[in-house]
Structure 1
Amino acid sequence: MELRNRSAFHEYFFETTYVAGIVLVGTEVKSLRAGKVSFNDAYCQFHKGELYVKNLHISDYAFGTTQRHEPTQERKLLLKKKELRKLEAKIKEKGYTIVPLKIFFNDRNLAKIEIGLGKGKKLYDKRETIKKRDVERDLKRYVK
């Protein structure tokens, strides 16, 4: 199962993507498996050399007991030091941001998050993307 951030590709150009582990507590894993995630306004930020995802809303698990979690708490991302240093250097350049793209479970059933290093699109870039998508859709229609 894979949960995608669809609006991210509309808002940003992505240069590179990374797959990171994510530190979860309590009932967050069960909520993820149920698909109760919202990527609205989610972004990643460095704090003391570590990368955290902020504003990622993982809803409360309905059948949870005392180990309930805060839905929009900061969650630490697990990357190699070399990757963290590379990302931190890029972030200091103007216009770059790190955005969560999708959450999935790997072969060993560990929760992973794919993050992308992106630059914001201008309005005319968004129009071009929409135009290109419409043309591709029309071509697929006529080819069949």
Structure 2
Amino acid sequence: MPNVLGCYGPMPFYCSEDAIFNYKDLKTSKQVRWAEHAVYLGKTIKEFLGFSPLEVSFTLRFDASRGISPMVGLPQLEKLIDQHLAFPLIIGGGYVGMMVMDKYDVKHKFFGKGGGCIVAEVSVWFSEVGSDSILNRLI
């Protein structure tokens, strides 16, 4: 039975005796937005405007010897980005937020007989969507 470590919408991250599909190099970034107002002969005054969307990135490994072939996993990942929908991102059992996949880069690492990719590492970038997203209004 797999131990689910998190998910992005319909894509679970898991570890079991038969398969390993997990994230690594997890990074998050949160930024504050400020307006600057110039003051004649004085110091600039900053005004808090709010937060920029949370940004999350990590690397996924599609490895045929670990139970998830790149030939199967990469089309599923491509389908997720092509849908351009926000999905919940859950990491380690904690809800991160409603995220959209902004970008992914594939690094084809190893190839088997016949030239088919057997190991690929994919760097994935996500950004948080606002509370007024279409998906949030449907829920």
Q: Given the two structures, how large is their TM-score scaled by the length of structure 2? A: 0.32
Which structure has the higher relative contact order (CA within 8 Å, separation 6+)?
1
Larger Rg: 2
| More helix, by proportion | 1
Q: Given the two structures, how large is their TM-score scaled by the length of structure 1? A: 0.31
| More strand, by proportion | 2
